[in-house]
């Protein structure tokens, strides 16, 4: 194994285009915290120019230009030290369109400084009951960065369960937190597993349509039963989204209707001139 291979194994870097020199490690205090800093470089022969799309077949198409020096990438901790990668990224010049462009790597997203591994580690930490401050400290990033990751996660664009819907589920609305759109949240309950499948922060028809549209039509066609309340617009909406499912008003809402009707009648009869007044009031 070469020096580069060892360093990459330690840092969990799988990109084959990143290289390290012998003296790549430096330990320095950054903002008062001892930090391990690795210097590396990224280079390869690009297949095509991302600006004009021409295929790279040799020196007449794309040539190596200079390096974009010291791009900071926050890695996960090594032996509990904050760890930083200073990466020199190769720049290229396309002879067809005269544009330059920078090499890219899969260890970090474009224009970001936090490596994908660190991002994953923060996401896992956010699933525990811990403060953003502690999580930020543990991962060696700022509270603002942790907050941004949390915000991205809560944007509700993730498709649950790898895009698989339960074949039988119930929907309803309920009073949740104050920041929910339209004051009520929307809940989906898996009948087979008897647990909550997902909660959406809006019960508006438009938002529910958008929510379920993210699941492929073939998946929606597999849904067999949906139970819900007696709100008419939902029936139209669900029929459009799930044309093969049977829509069932659930027991709970029917019983509530009967109970409310009974109570209304009882109250209307409950006046003192009625000979059954006491019975109606007490029972």
Strand boundaries in 79-192, DSSP class E: 81-94, 100-102, 168-174, 185-190
Closer to Zn ion at the Cβ: 84 or 94? Answer: 94
Closer to Zn ion at the Cβ: 26 or 57? Answer: 57
Q: How far is the CB of 48 from Zn ion (least distance, A)?
A: 8
Residue 96, interface with Zn ion (CB under 5 A)?
yes
Residue 45, interface with Zn ion (CB under 5 A)?
no
Q: How far is the CB of 55 from Zn ion (least distance, A)?
A: 10
Residue 248, interface with Zn ion (CB under 5 A)?
no
Residue 13, interface with Zn ion (CB under 5 A)?
no
Residue 52, interface with Zn ion (CB under 5 A)?
yes
CA-CA-CA-CA torsion sign (205, 210, 214, 218): positive
Residue 256, interface with Zn ion (CB under 5 A)?
no
Applying CB under 5 A, among 11, 49, 189, 226 the residue interacting with Zn ion is: 49
User: If binding means CB under 5 A, how many residues of this protein chain bind Zn ion?
Assistant: 6
Applying CB under 5 A, among 30, 33, 55, 97 the residue interacting with Zn ion is: 97
Residue that the structure tokens 């139970």 belong to: 227
Q: How far is the CB of 94 from Zn ion (least distance, A)?
A: 3
Q: How far is the CB of 98 from Zn ion (least distance, A)?
A: 8
Non-local CB neighbours of 251 within 8 Å, separated by 6+ positions:
none
Q: How far is the CB of 89 from Zn ion (least distance, A)?
A: 18
51-59, 101-109, 181-189, 202-210 -> range binding Zn ion (CB under 5 A): 51-59
Residue 51, interface with Zn ion (CB under 5 A)?
yes
Residue 124 buriedness (CB in 10 A; 0-12 / 13-18 / 19+): exposed
Residue 94, interface with Zn ion (CB under 5 A)?
yes
Cβ neighbour number for residue 112 with a 10 Å cutoff: 12
Cβ neighbour number for residue 255 with a 10 Å cutoff: 10
Which two three-digit tokens encode residue 269?
Answer: 């009869």
Residue 124, interface with Zn ion (CB under 5 A)?
no
Buried b (16+ CB within 10 A) or exposed e, 135-155: bbeebbbeeebbeebeeeeee
Strands 18-30 and 168-174, how do they pair?
Answer: unpaired
Q: For residue 106, how far is the Cα from the chain centroid?
A: 19
Strands 33-42 and 62-78, how do they pair?
Answer: unpaired
Closer to Zn ion at the Cβ: 96 or 148? Answer: 96
Closer to Zn ion at the Cβ: 104 or 116? Answer: 104
Closer to Zn ion at the Cβ: 52 or 261? Answer: 52
Q: Given the rule CB under 5 A, which residues bind Zn ion?
A: 49, 51-52, 94, 96-97
């Amino acid at each position: 194994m070469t020096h580069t291979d060892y360093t990459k194994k330690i840092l969990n870097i799988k990109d084959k285009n990143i290289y390290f020199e012998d003296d790549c490690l430096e330990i320095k205090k950054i903002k008062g915290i001892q930090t391990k800093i690795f210097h590396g470089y990224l280079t390869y022969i690009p297949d095509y120019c991302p600006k004009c799309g021409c295929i790279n077949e040799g020196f007449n198409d794309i040539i190596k230009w200079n390096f974009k020096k010291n791009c900071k990438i926050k890695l996960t901790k090594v032996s509990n030290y904050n760890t930083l990668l200073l990466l020199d990224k190769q720049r290229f010049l396309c002879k067809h369109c005269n544009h330059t462009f920078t090499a890219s790597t899969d260890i970090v997203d474009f224009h970001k400084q936090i490596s994908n591994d660190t991002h994953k580690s923060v996401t896992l930490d956010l699933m525990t009951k811990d403060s953003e401050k502690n999580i930020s400290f543990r991962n060696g990033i700022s509270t603002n960065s942790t907050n941004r990751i949390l915000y991205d996660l809560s944007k509700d664009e993730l498709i649950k369960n790898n895009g698989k819907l339960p074949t039988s589920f119930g929907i309803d609305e309920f009073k949740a937190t104050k920041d929910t759109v339209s004051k009520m949240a929307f809940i989906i309950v898996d009948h087979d597993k008897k647990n909550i499948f997902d909660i959406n922060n809006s019960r508006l028809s438009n938002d529910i349509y958008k929510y379920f549209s993210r699941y492929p039509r073939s998946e929606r066609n597999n849904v067999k039963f949906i139970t819900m309340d007696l709100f008419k617009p939902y029936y139209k909406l669900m029929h459009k989204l799930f044309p093969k499912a049977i829509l069932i008003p659930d027991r709970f809402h029917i019983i509530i209707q009967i109970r409310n009707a009974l109570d209304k009648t009882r109250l209307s009869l409950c006046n003192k001139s009625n000979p059954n007044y006491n019975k109606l009031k007490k029972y």
